[in-house]
C-alpha cells in the first residue's frame, strides 16, 4: 500500500490527521486479517510548487528563505513535528517512509524512460509530459472521470511565455534558476524533479509496477494521481495501483479546511486549545475517535459541539475498556445462561467485523461496539451476569471488544494518572468513611477527585473510578 504523505513545510493539521488515521486503520485491519502489508508513505521535501503548478516557487524553499534556513532544515523540522503529531495520534509507522530528495536518481531515470517512449519533450532544459500524445493510446483522466476535451476547453490559453506545448502537460523535470536552493544535475539541466514524479519513483521502487492499494486525500485525485497513472503507464504500460482509496475532506462550517483557505487548525492547536475557534483543548484520542466516527469517504464537519460529543463518546468507550479488562467469568446461579443475550452479543460482534469488511466502515463498527459496551457495563454493575453468556461467549466478547478498540481502531487509554495504586488507597478511605456514614468526608474526596477528572462510581457492592466524560 502506498499513501501520499505530507509536504513538510508547515505544521500538520486536522486534514493530515484524517488521512493518516484513515490509512492507519486500513494498515491495522489488513494486518489483523493476516495480510502481510508493506505500507509505504512518502515525505515530500522537494518539487512541490506553489500557486501555478509549474511556475510557482517550491514550497519548502520559500519557507526556508523566509526563515533563513537551509531547505533541508525546514524539511527536517516539519517532518519531525509531523512524526510527533502522528505518534500521539497513535498511528503506526509505515514500513517504509521514503523522501523525494533521497530518490533523485530514480526520478531522473523515469524522466529518461518517458522521453524514450516519446511521451515527453524538452524545452529550455525542462522536461514536460505530453498529455495529448499519451492520451492517444491511453485515456488520461479515467480515475477522476475527466475527459481531455473538456479539460482543454476549461483551461486557459497559454500565454506564449510557457514552455509547455499544452496547458495540461505537467513538469517532469524543471530547470532551476540560479538562485534556486535545491537543485541536482541531470542530462537536461541543473534542476529539480516535478511533484508527481516522486510518487511514481518511490512506489514502483518499493512496491513494484502494479501494487494493491494507493491512498491519499481526495484533493490529490486530480491532477496528482492522474499524473501518476500516466507516468506509470508511460513507463511500464501498467496502471500503478489496483485500488485507489481517497479519504474525504474535513470541513469547518461546511467549508473545506485547507492551507489555501487559511482556515485550518493545526493538531498542536487542537491539543492546546490555542485557536480562536476552539472553545477548549481536545486530546489526541478525542481527535482520533472523532475521525473514526465518520466513514472515510464522507466529509466530516468540524465544530466544538461535535468534538465535545466525540470526547464523551471516547471516554465512555475507554471507561468500558478498563472495565472489560477488570471483569472475569464467574459462574453465578442468579444469572443462568440466556440464549437471547448471547444472540445479541454475537450479532453485534459479527456486525462490527462486517462493517470493517465493508470498506472500513469504522463509524458503523463503533456503533456496534457501544451495544457490546452495554453488556459489559451491565455485568460490571451486577445488572447482568457473565454466566448469562456462558464462558466461551463471554471470553470472546471481552477479547474482541478489547482488540477491536486498541488494535483495529488504535484507540488507547489516555492516562490521567500513573498513580492508580494510590488512587485505590484513596478509594478505600472513601469506602470506610462511607461505612462510617461520614458523608462530609465522602463528599470532599469525591469533589477533589472530580477536580482531577476522575469520577467515583458507587455501585451496589463495590466502588471504582472512571474518567469523567
Minimum Å gap between C-beta 80 and RNA is: 16
Minimum Å gap between C-beta 137 and RNA is: 22
The single residue among 300, 321, 386, 393 that binds RNA, judged by CB under 7 A, is 300
Question: Which residues inside 343-382 make contact with RNA, applying CB under 7 A?
Answer: 347, 355, 361, 363-364, 366-368, 370-371, 373-374, 377-378, 380-381
Minimum Å gap between C-beta 434 and RNA is: 6
The single residue among 62, 83, 209, 457 that binds RNA, judged by CB under 7 A, is 457
Minimum Å gap between C-beta 133 and RNA is: 19
> Phi, psi (5° rounding) for residue 123?
-135, 120
The yes or no reply on residue 63 touching RNA (CB under 7 A) is no
**DSSP type of residue 454:** E
Minimum Å gap between C-beta 185 and RNA is: 25
Part in contact with RNA (CB under 7 A); list of ranges 10-18, 124-132, 183-191, 387-395: 10-18
Which among 200, 230, 218, 229 has a CA at the least distance from the CA of 2? 200
The yes or no reply on residue 341 touching RNA (CB under 7 A) is no
Residue in the block written with cell 462493517: 355
In DSSP terms, 64 is beta-bridged to: none
Rounded Cα distance between 47 and 60, Å, is: 9
* Site size toward RNA, by CB under 7 A: 96
Indicate the residue among 209 and 457 with the shorter CB distance to RNA: 457
Beta strands across the sheet bearing 191-193: 120-123, 126-129, 170-175, 191-193
Rounded Cα distance between 400 and 388, Å, is: 18
Indicate the residue among 19 and 235 with the shorter CB distance to RNA: 19
The yes or no reply on residue 229 touching RNA (CB under 7 A) is no
| 153 contacts 19 by C-beta, under 8 angstroms | no
The yes or no reply on residue 400 touching RNA (CB under 7 A) is no
The yes or no reply on residue 455 touching RNA (CB under 7 A) is yes
The yes or no reply on residue 109 touching RNA (CB under 7 A) is no
Which among 153, 152, 174 has a CA at the least distance from the CA of 162? 174
State the sign of the Cα–Cα–Cα–Cα dihedral 426, 431, 435, 441: positive
Looking only at Cα atoms, what is the longest distance across the chain? 91
The single residue among 443, 448, 453, 462 that binds RNA, judged by CB under 7 A, is 443
The yes or no reply on residue 385 touching RNA (CB under 7 A) is no
Rounded Cα distance between 100 and 394, Å, is: 50
Part in contact with RNA (CB under 7 A); list of ranges 177-185, 385-393, 394-402, 439-447: 439-447
Question: Which residues inside 240-269 make contact with RNA, applying CB under 7 A?
Answer: 247-251, 254-261, 264
> Phi, psi (5° rounding) for residue 139?
-65, 130
The yes or no reply on residue 212 touching RNA (CB under 7 A) is no
Indicate the residue among 6 and 112 with the shorter CB distance to RNA: 6
Question: Which residues inside 125-164 make contact with RNA, applying CB under 7 A?
Answer: 144-146, 150-151, 154-155
The yes or no reply on residue 312 touching RNA (CB under 7 A) is yes
Rounded Cα distance between 354 and 348, Å, is: 10
Which among 37, 20, 17, 10 has a CA at the least distance from the CA of 215? 20
Q: Is 62 exposed, middle or buried (0-12, 13-18, 19+ CB in 10 A)?
A: middle
Amino acid at each position: 500500500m502506498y499513501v501520499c504523505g505530507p509536504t513538510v513545510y508547515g505544521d500538520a493539521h486536522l486534514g493530515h490527521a484524517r488521512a493518516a488515521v484513515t490509512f492507519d486503520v486500513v494498515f491495522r485491519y489488513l494486518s489483523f486479517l493476516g495480510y502481510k502489508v508493506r505500507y509505504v508513505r512518502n515525505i515530500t521535501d522537494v518539487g512541490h510548487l506553489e500557486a501555478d503548478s509549474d511556475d510557482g516557487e517550491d514550497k519548502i524553499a520559500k519557507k526556508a528563505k523566509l526563515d533563513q534556513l537551509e531547505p533541508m532544515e525546514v524539511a527536517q523540522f516539519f517532518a519531525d513535528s509531523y512524526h510527533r503529531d502522528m505518534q500521539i495520534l497513535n498511528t503506526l509507522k509505515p514500513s517504509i517512509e521514503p523522501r523525494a530528495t533521497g530518490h533523485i536518481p530514480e526520478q531522473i531515470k523515469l524522466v529518461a524512460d518517458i522521453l524514450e517512449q516519446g511521451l515527453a519533450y524538452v524545452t529550455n532544459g525542462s522536461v514536460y509530459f505530453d498529455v495529448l500524445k499519451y492520451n492517444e493510446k491511453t485515456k488520461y483522466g479515467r480515475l477522476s472521470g475527466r475527459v481531455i476535451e473538456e479539460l482543454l476547453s476549461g483551461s486557459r490559453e497559454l500565454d506564449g511565455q510557457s514552455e509547455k506545448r499544452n496547458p495540461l502537460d505537467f513538469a517532469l523535470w524543471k530547470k532551476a534558476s540560479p538562485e534556486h536552493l535545491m537543485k541536482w544535475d541531470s542530462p537536461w539541466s541543473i534542476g529539480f524533479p516535478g511533484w508527481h514524479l516522486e510518487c511514481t519513483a518511490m512506489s514502483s521502487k518499493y512496491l513494484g509496477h502494479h501494487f494493491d492499494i494507493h491512498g491519499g486525500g481526495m484533493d490529490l485525485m486530480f491532477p496528482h494521481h492522474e499524473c501518476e497513472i500516466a507516468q506509470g503507464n508511460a513507463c511500464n504500460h501498467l496502471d500503478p495501483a489496483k485500488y485507489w482509496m481517497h479519504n474525504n475532506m474535513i470541513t469547518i462550517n461546511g467549508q473545506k479546511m485547507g492551507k489555501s483557505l487559511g482556515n485550518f487548525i493545526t493538531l498542536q492547536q487542537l491539543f492546546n486549545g490555542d485557536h480562536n475557534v476552539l472553545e477548549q483543548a481536545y486530546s489526541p484520542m478525542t481527535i482520533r475517535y472523532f475521525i473514526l466516527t465518520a466513514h472515510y469517504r464522507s466529509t466530516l464537519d468540524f465544530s466544538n459541539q461535535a468534538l465535545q460529543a466525540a470526547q464523551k463518546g471516547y471516554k465512555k468507550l475507554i471507561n468500558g475498556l478498563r472495565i472489560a479488562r477488570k471483569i472475569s467469568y464467574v459462574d453465578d446461579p442468579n444469572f443462568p445462561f440466556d440464549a437471547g443475550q448471547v444472540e445479541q452479543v454475537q450479532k453485534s460482534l459479527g456486525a462490527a467485523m462486517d462493517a470493517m469488511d465493508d470498506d472500513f466502515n469504522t463509524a458503523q463498527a463503533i456503533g456496534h461496539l457501544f451495544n457490546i459496551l452495554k453488556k459489559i457495563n451491565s455485568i460490571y454493575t451486577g445488572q447482568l451476569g457473565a454466566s448469562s453468556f456462558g464462558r466461551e461467549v463471554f471470553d470472546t466478547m471481552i477479547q474482541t471488544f478489547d482488540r477491536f478498540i486498541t488494535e483495529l481502531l488504535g484507540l488507547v487509554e489516555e492516562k490521567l494518572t500513573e498513580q492508580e495504586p494510590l488512587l485505590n488507597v484513596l478509594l478505600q478511605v472513601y469506602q470506610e468513611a462511607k461505612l462510617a456514614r461520614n458523608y462530609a468526608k465522602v463528599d470532599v474526596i469525591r469533589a477533589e477527585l472530580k477536580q482531577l477528572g476522575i469520577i467515583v462510581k458507587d455501585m451496589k457492592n463495590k466502588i471504582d473510578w472512571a474518567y469523567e466524560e
